[in-house]
Amino acid sequence: MDRRIFLKKLSAATLAGAGMTLNPAAGTLLKFARAATGGNKTLVVIFQRGGCDGLNAVVPYADPDYRRHRPTLAIPAPGAAERAALDLDGFFGLHPSLAGLHEIYQENNLAIFPAVHYPDASRSHFDSQRLIEGAALQRQNDGWLNRVIQQNPNADLLNAVALGSQLPFSLFGDIQVPSFDSLQTALGAPDTQEPAIQAALDAIFRNAPPTSGNRDRLYGAGRVAMEMLDQLALLAQGEYVAENGANYADDGFAQQLKQVARLIKADVGLEIATLNIGGWDTHSNQGAAEVGGTQARRFAIFADGLRAFYRDMADRRDDVMVLTMTEFGRTVQENASGGTDHGKASAWFAFGGQTQGGVHGGWPGLDEADLDQGRFLRYTVDYRHILADVLSGHLGVRNLGAILPDLLRVLPERA
């Protein structure tokens, strides 16, 4: 847990990236257990929108200041109560409702980053989400994941999808990406109206006459969209059966993960998938370890869905990686309403894709002198370094500068 040792290990990777390329074999932040298999790689990015309280997700139970700051919200140390932290390494533990993630950790495939953020951080939900999904110090016109797929513009139609009603900014950009809640409702219209809507769109786009300029681009985008709908309609046929004992719950998050699993197993060339899970803005009645707490319920949905997906992907796990993120954490001190307010650093997770498990990154401490402005957890890992390792080590991206335009500008603080 010595931060200086960690940064020395990281410096090899950051220096290797000085030419805006990265050697995955260099000492990267996110270790990969084995060499890449060479199969089709998929990255699943999950955004916990609302600002998840990382201190009660990855619990620093051995930090002497943790319980002092949270007299009612602190999670008990392992063995101190029936519902207590699930031990990781003798210092950190997971919230008891994250048992699904703890199972993955015990298989040495869950990478945990307890203090992730970026410099000069915003505590606005919108601004921080936009900056992280743009993956740069300044606002971008497109998202980092769209920049990934721009590197291969001739890829399969369904090389990227967004599960949900809206396209996240990470997938905004020049490449057209479909967004839908499920394969069965890709048009986003009531079942009774979908045939008529699709017939009307067919008439407009499939047989559109050659035009020029903007009209031609519009019709071209429409034809691409119709081809995507054709593929989705074929995939939606029949019942999906999960493998390896995986059991997806009926909640929306688990069902969307199930849709991702279906797309991966259909071998449609899926490279990027995004999902959102909200409910993390816990200003009041956050709860601690108890089952019925607001945060505990969200943790259970989050971890149980991820465990089901992990089990379902057992035969493809080397080629499928999951990365979770959130726009910021919460204040170190609990507030008078039994909750926490907008903070800074928080916990991120990654698994699959040959990830080597463990707790990664230094720990800044919770003494007031160690806090940012006396209130916020300091970050020890810049999130762009995680993205760089995922891009190079899993997706095989060599030109990181095209995806992370200002990566070099954050390297000096890590040297």
> What average pLDDT does the segment 312-332 reach?
97
- The pLDDT confidence band at residue 365, using thresholds 50, 70 and 90, is very high
- At 104, which helix (H) or strand (E)? helix 99-106
Tens digits of residue pLDDT in 142-157: 999 999 999 887 666 7
> What average pLDDT does the segment 130-139 reach?
94
Tens digits of residue pLDDT in 215-227: 555 555 555 555 5
Contact status, residue 383 vs residue 325, Cβ threshold 8 Å: yes
Report how far apart the first and last C-alpha atoms of the chain are (Å, whole number).
17
pTM of the complete model: 0.84
What pLDDT, on the 0 to 100 scale, is given for residue 13?
41
- Percentage of residues in the chain having pLDDT higher than 70: 74
What pLDDT, on the 0 to 100 scale, is given for residue 195?
62
Q: Beta strand pairing status for 358-359 and 110-117? A: parallel
**DSSP string for residues in 179-211:** EES-GGGTT-S-TTTHHHHHHHHHHHHTTPPP-
Query: Environment class of residue 346 by beta-carbon count within 10 Å: exposed (0-12), middle (13-18) or buried (19+)?
Result: buried
291 vs 235: which has the higher pLDDT? 291
Q: Is the pLDDT of residue 201 over 70?
A: no
Q: Is the pLDDT of residue 9 over 90?
A: no
- The CATH number of 3-179+247-414, from 1.20.120, 2.60.40, 1.20.58, 3.40.720, is 3.40.720
- Longest CA–CA span in the chain (Å) reads 72
CA 149 from centre of chain = 17
